[in-house]
Amino acid sequence: MVKPVLKWAGGKRQLLDEIYSRFPADYGRYHEPFFGGGAVFFDLEPADGTVNDTNPRLVNFYRVVRDEPDALISRLREFRDPEADPDDSEAFADENWKGKAVEQYFYQQRARFNRRAYADEEWPATEADRVEEAALLLYLNRTCYNGLYRENSSGGFNVPIGRYADPDWVMADRVRAASRALDGTDIRNADFEYVLDAAGEGDLVYLDPPYQPMSATANFAEYSAEGFDRSDQERLLATVERLDDAGVYFVLSNSGVMYELYDDAGFAVEKEGATRSINSDETARGEVDEIVATNVPEGERGEQGQASIADF
């Protein structure tokens, strides 16, 4: 069992037992089309398969973790305290992309990280650039407010500095463990439908699409998550139906408002409670309804042991 390297909204640490209880006793390769923080993958440590995310910065990060862990750790050790003065030897020591004064090291590094979004040239373009972006992502993830990842309409990361007594952004042991877990895994940056070609009969697909907690009175017709709307949810249902027809096992977690959609499709679906701790609105944190849906027959499910639920 490996602990996730990144804090990531929507992580499934609290639902691991419920998810595992739907897994088949035996399956081939493992696929995860919505990787995010990878809580399920890293706890499971599958030997072979694919993971995917539409966020290119996140995909770059995991490829660097897999292929260049020592270079990543070495670079992370060079970063300074987020509240320190900016580094005069690096760009954005005085002002950011919008001409706003930079007075703390954190905001200098945030500006450097946003080169992908705001610069005229392609970046990252070299292996050194890719390691640098991965290091910046982990540094910002561990020092920004509440570990939140958020982009503006231009793709710029805009989360402010957090308040931590002694933040650990090097995470050397976790990076090396995650590198070993990802070894041999195909890391993709594509739409989730890639899995229709990647997964074969007897394989297992775990899907955890983007969604936001909804009120108890909300329904699917009202549902919309940023960057993943109703049409995407309908495409996702069609995708798991095609996986089912192809003899591929799937387990899916989603917002509670999706219950009827998967129930009407004939899949086994149950509501579960999960605690949300990463949210920019503190009042929105707490237990929310989620569903776990699957096509795995009860008689073919395995008996997974207690899943690890590691605190960050």
Say yes or no to pLDDT of 228 above 70.
yes
Query: Do 236 and 283 fall into the same domain?
Result: yes
How large a percentage of the chain has pLDDT more than 70?
A: 89
Residue 279, pLDDT score: 47
What is the C-alpha separation between 170 and 48, in angstroms, rounded? Answer: 27
Asked whether residue 306 is assigned to any structural domain, the reply reads no
Say yes or no to pLDDT of 297 above 80.
yes
Domain hosting residue 77, numbered range: 63-175
Task: List, for residues 73-113, the tens digit of each pLDDT value.
Answer: 999 999 999 999 999 999 999 999 999 999 999 999 999 99
Q: How many domains does the chain have?
A: 2
What is the C-alpha separation between 46 and 64, in angstroms, rounded? Answer: 19
Task: List, for residues 264-275, the tens digit of each pLDDT value.
Answer: 999 999 998 655
- Residue at 99: amino acid letter: G
Task: List, for residues 27-55, the tens digit of each pLDDT value.
Answer: 999 999 999 999 999 999 999 999 999 99
Please give the distance of CA 231 from its chain centroid, rounded to a whole number. 21
Asked whether residue 3 is assigned to any structural domain, the reply reads no
Tokens of 75: 């670079």
Asked whether residue 235 is assigned to any structural domain, the reply reads yes
Query: Do 80 and 28 fall into the same domain?
Result: no
Residue 272, pLDDT score: 86
Say yes or no to pLDDT of 305 above 50.
no
Q: What is the CATH number of the domain that holds 116?
A: 1.10.1020.10
**Whole-Å CA distances, 102 to 98, 107, 180, 263:** 11, 6, 38, 52
Query: Do 74 and 160 fall into the same domain?
Result: yes
Task: List, for residues 230-288, the tens digit of each pLDDT value.
Answer: 999 999 999 999 999 999 999 999 999 999 999 999 999 999 865 555 444 554 444 56
